């Protein structure tokens, strides 16, 4: 992929938002050496918090994927705020995806693919990562998905 990350985002119709401020006692990103640890990002869109509810109840897999994609957009926004230039991203190392889902819902990996697929679309092979996708009983503000990331930067 020879085009810039910003150009790929634009081609995907994505404008990065101003990153959300923490809602508790933590920082959005910690850098240690060449690693960024991006705190869990929730689906905050242009009109505020989106996708409130459980996957398997209020939302199906497709809506869960859209929610995870929005979390991915917010991960990239936090990354850009932390390092200034997305071309400094060496690799998306790991995601931890949490899905607020019903006890009988077992497709958490398909939901978190919404973020994983988006990161590969944006970063190419640098976007391929290790990952966990787990079910949780609830998430902050009742959202359907929260995703945290570890990113290697130059």
| pLDDT digit string, tens, across residues 80-118 | 999 999 999 999 999 999 999 999 999 999 999 999 999
Mean pLDDT value across residues 120-140: 98
Give the CB-side neighbour count of residue 88, counting CA atoms within 13 A.
Answer: 13
> pTM above the 0.85 mark?
yes
78-90 tens-digit pLDDT: 999 999 999 999 9
pLDDT number for residue 23: 84
Mean pLDDT value across residues 21-47: 95
- Alpha-carbon span 5 to 124, nearest angstrom: 9
Asked if residue 72 lies in contact with residue 115, where contact means CB atoms within 8 angstroms, the answer is yes
- Alpha-carbon span 18 to 1, nearest angstrom: 26
pLDDT number for residue 1: 57
- Side by side, the strands of the sheet bearing 130-136 are 29-32, 35-41, 145-153, 89-100, 130-136
pLDDT of 62 strictly over 80? yes
- Alpha-carbon span 128 to 92, nearest angstrom: 6
- Alpha-helical (H) ranges within 23-131 are 61-83, 108-123
- The set of residues, in sequence order, having a beta carbon less than 8 Å from that of 41 and lying 6+ positions away, is 20, 71, 72, 74, 75, 78, 146, 147, 148, 149
Asked if residue 146 lies in contact with residue 115, where contact means CB atoms within 8 angstroms, the answer is no
């Amino acid at each position: 992929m020879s085009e810039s990350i910003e150009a790929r985002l634009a081609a995907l119709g994505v404008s990065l938002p101003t990153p959300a401020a923490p809602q508790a006692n933590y920082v959005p990103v910690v850098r240690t050496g060449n690693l960024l640890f991006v705190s869990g990002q929730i689906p905050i869109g242009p009109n505020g918090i989106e996708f409130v509810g459980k996957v398997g109840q209020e939302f199906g897999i497709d809506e869960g994927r859209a929610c995870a994609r929005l979390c991915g957009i917010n991960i990239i926004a936090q990354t850009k705020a932390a390092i200034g230039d997305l071309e400094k991203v060496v690799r998306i190392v790991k995601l931890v995806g949490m899905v607020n889902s019903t006890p009988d819902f077992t497709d958490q990996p398909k939901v978190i693919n919404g973020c994983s697929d988006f990161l590969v679309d944006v970063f190419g092979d640098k976007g391929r990562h290790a990952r966990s996708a787990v079910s949780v009983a609830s998430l902050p503000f009742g959202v359907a998905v929260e995703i945290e990331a570890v990113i290697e930067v130059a």
